[in-house]
Amino acid sequence: MKQSDFILTDLACDSCIARLTKAIKKLKGIKSYKITLESMTVEYNENKVSEQDIIKTVQSLGYNARLSDE
């Protein structure tokens, strides 16, 4: 298992968090996650899902994400 921290932008309210939560839960290999308006921490199986897959999922909803160490 791997854990990554992401910086989120463009989330404005709890509805945005709920929408993102629903999408993240659908990804294969996600073990746990914590999402706020500004950040997201995800624990996942790196053999099933990548950091890039997670970022693409966020972007598909119209939000932006990047790794917190970038």
The CATH number that applies at residue 14 is 3.30.70.100
State the pLDDT at residue 55. Answer: 97
**pTM, full prediction:** 0.92
Q: Which residue has the higher pLDDT, 70 or 61?
A: 61
Domain ranges, residue 43: 2-67
**Model pLDDT, residue 69:** 82
Q: What is the pLDDT of residue 70?
A: 61
Residue-level pLDDT at 27: 96
Separation CA 66–CA 39 (nearest Å): 9
Q: What is the pLDDT of residues 27-68, one digit of tens each?
A: 999 999 999 999 999 999 999 999 999 999 999 999 999 999
If one counts the domains in the chain, the total is 1
